[in-house]
Structure 1
Amino acid sequence: MTGRTSPIASAVPGRIRVRHPLLRRADRFQEALGRLESLDAVRVTGSNPAVGSVLLSYDPAVLTPDDARSQVEALLSAVLHPAEAAPPPDAPASVADSTPAAPELKWRINRAAKIGMMGSMAATLAALGVGKRVHAGFGTLFVAFMLVHMTVQRKRLFQ
Structure 2
Amino acid sequence: MIASAIEGRVRFRHPFLTDPETLRAVAEQVAALPGITGVDGNPRTGSLLITHDARLKTADLLAMAEAMARKVAPEAPAPARAARPRGRLKPGQLTRRTQKFGLATCMAGAVATGLADTKAAHLAFGLGLAGFAAWHLFMYRRRFMA
**TM-score under structure 1 normalisation?**
0.42
- Structure of higher CA gyration radius: 2
